[in-house]
Amino acid sequence: MTTIHVTASREYDVLVQPGLLDDAGAQIARVLGTGRTAAIVAGETVAGLYAERMAASLTRAGFRAVTFTYPGGEHCKTLATYAALLDFLAAHRLSRSDLIVALGGGVTGDLAGFAAATYQRGIPFVQVPTTLLAAVDSSVGKTAVNLASGKNQVGCFYQPSLVLCDPDTLRTLPPEEYRNGCAEVIKYAVLRSEPFFDALRAEPVSAQVEHVIATCVGMKRDLVAADEFDRGSRQLLNLGHSFGHAVEKCSDYAVPHGCGVAIGMAIIARAAAKRGICTDDTCAQILALLRQYGLPTETAFTRDALTDAARSDKKIADGKLHLIVPERIGRCRIETIPAVDIPAWLADGGIA
């Protein structure tokens, strides 16, 4: 078993091991004790695949397990679904001594984590990611739901008590969802490690998945430990996200998060090369790796549409946006720009 220890306002471990789902109850009991009610939160698809196994594991470990299911997907990451989950917790009389288990991808983790942070002013929760994207990124650190104006506009920083990654659950992922996760994996390589970037070129993620999860979580752990509340270096994790979120919003979330991030990385790489921040070769390498994994690097949305969406991004403060810009593979910097300059950056990134 691989263990990554995260030091933050709450210290916790991220465990990575095939078969961990069936041992989840015992692992949770080791950290939180038994005799509690555990509310499993899962989208309908994941619930059909894994909720019974999770409930059985929890029951064997001495928990009372109840399950909240919702349709799933970004369209359900709303205040309405959040309110329904809170009502479910109250109806089953969960208290602050109980816990929530987020079983699924990033949407489930964000939704369940936000409910855990706010229900009765905070109860423990455990992340059990079943998508590559959640395993490598979204299961560590933030919670949120969307508003009509934009993505993740209502949320908070709230750390889980434990994260359990079972790579076997990734076998049921549709190919397009696996590709979404690969976008976040590539993001980490561009941010922090040229050798990791080269490893992704040489061998597919699926052939080295445990190593990939541990490497990405380790990188995020270091950034979270240095800047838990996203005021400085942690903002580097937003590589590709400002313009990627704009693409998602313009598509009414038909473009999934990983594809949005891939397009956002492509835009910022092209802009960085045009502005002399990185070389043309660095830009070409980023675009080539995205395409190698079947990820998009272009969008049909116009500069005006993306500008309007980007200006409502939660990352804008005091009329400024912090863009994460590649200097070379393994090194990026924070470039703070006035929001009025967004169209020029999009133009340099190839958006008409």
If DSSP codes are grouped into helix, strand and coil, which group holds residue 301? Answer: coil
> pLDDT at position 138, please?
67
The reported pLDDT for the residue numbered 295 is 98
Predicted pLDDT at 230: 65
Residues paired with 14 in a beta bridge: 4, 163
More confident of the two residues 198 and 314: 198
Q: Locate all alpha helices (DSSP H) within the chain, ordered by sequence.
A: 24-32, 44-46, 52-60, 79-91, 106-118, 132-133, 175-192, 194-202, 209-226, 241-250, 257-274, 280-292, 303-310, 342-348
229 pLDDT above the threshold of 70: no
Q: In this structure, what token pair is assigned to residue 67?
A: 């399950």
Least trusted range by pLDDT, from 20-29, 93-102, 162-171, 227-236: 227-236
- Is pTM, for the whole model, over 0.85? yes
Q: pLDDT band for 329, please (50, 70, 90 cuts).
A: very high
Which tens digit of pLDDT belongs to each residue from 245-264? Answer: 999 999 999 999 999 999 99
Confidence of residue 183 (pLDDT cuts 50, 70, 90): very high
Nearest-angstrom CA–CA distance, 163 and 185: 18
What average pLDDT does range 50-70 have in this prediction? Answer: 98
Q: Mean pLDDT, the chain, as a whole number?
A: 94
Query: Is pLDDT at 316 greater than 80 in this prediction?
Result: no
Torsion of CA 176, 328, 204, 186, to 10 degrees: -30
Contact criterion met (CB below 8 Å) for 242 and 253: no
pLDDT tens for each residue of 131-165: 999 999 866 767 899 998 888 899 998 999 999 99
pLDDT digits (tens, 9 = 90+) for 301-310: 999 999 999 9
pLDDT digits (tens, 9 = 90+) for 201-223: 999 999 999 999 999 999 988 88
pLDDT at 94 over 80: yes
Q: Cα 102–105–107 angle (5° rounding)?
A: 85
| pLDDT for res 151 | 85
Per-residue pLDDT at 312: 78
In this prediction, residue 314 carries a pLDDT of 66
